[in-house]
Amino acid sequence: MENILEVKDLNISFHTFAGEIKAIRGVNFELKKGETLAIVGESGSGKSVTTKAIMRLLPPGNSEIKQGEILFEGRDLAKLTDKQMQKIRGQDISMIFQDPMTSLNPTMTVGKQIMEPLIKHQNMSKSAARERVLQLLKLVGIPQPELRIKQYPHQFSGGMRQRVVIAIALACNPKILIADEPTTALDVTIQAQILELMKDLQKKN
């Protein structure tokens, strides 16, 4: 199977008042199409920094990729311009973070938030995007999508909110979905449901 992502000898530093922090030193891994890859390590070992580097979401002011390559379908993401990267983010590679409360915009309806990437990246009309949103809400197991689409994040439970975050991440059919501890903010039974959902979605998509 072909590699969709290859990280080669990645080295990342942060420049702080206390000097240079070498957060990542010589990270190597590859991901094949259809594969699930788990990155495991103790707190502070650099898991989040690695995944943020792939998405180019590290703080621009004080972080630096010192060495290495992040090859997505053979292209080095570390070398793309911000504009080129914006096209890849959300469309080819998307990411889910720990806390669904801070990932969602509290002032916007859930429907509008899932619609946004569809209108922005895929030039969908409003009505086509609405259809796709209903489909996505069903896919991630949210009942009564016609009602839910008009509601705000605070009207959802924690687990339901993370399902919405997953729906947004999947909206444009990304080739890679990065999840950085997607269940940490949820209680144990809901954690199991979300992991089960992700396994199921991976098989289907």
By CB under 6 A, name the binding residues for ligand ATP: 14, 16, 21, 23, 41, 43-49, 59, 62
* Rounded-to-5 percentages of helix, strand, coil across the chain: 40, 25, 35
Rank residues 100 and 111 by Cβ distance to ligand ATP and give the closer one: 100
Q: Residue 174 CB, nearest distance to ligand ATP (Å)?
A: 21
Nearest by Cα to 134 from 152, 110, 117: 110
Contact 93, 174 (CB under 8 A): yes
Q: Which is nearer to ligand ATP, 12 or 93 (CB)?
A: 12
- The conformation of residue 187, written as its DSSP 8-state character, comes to -
Please check whether residue 169 is in contact with residue 202, taking contact to mean a CB–CB distance below 8 angstroms: no
Q: How far is the CB of 14 from ligand ATP (least distance, A)?
A: 3
The residue among 44 and 106 lying less far from ligand ATP, judged by its C-beta, is 44
Residue 152 CB, shortest distance to ligand ATP, in Å, is: 29
DSSP 61: T
Nearer CB in complex with ligand ATP: 14/72: 14
Minimum CB separation of residue 177 from ligand ATP in Å reads 17
Q: Tell me how far, at minimum, the Cβ of 29 lies from ligand ATP, in Å.
A: 14
| DSSP E strand stretches across 17-105 | 19-32, 63-72, 75-76, 93-96
Q: What are the backbone dihedrals phi and psi of residue 134, each rounded to the nearest 5 degrees, phi first?
A: -60, -40
Q: Considering beta carbons, is residue 36 or 45 the nearer one to ligand ATP?
A: 45
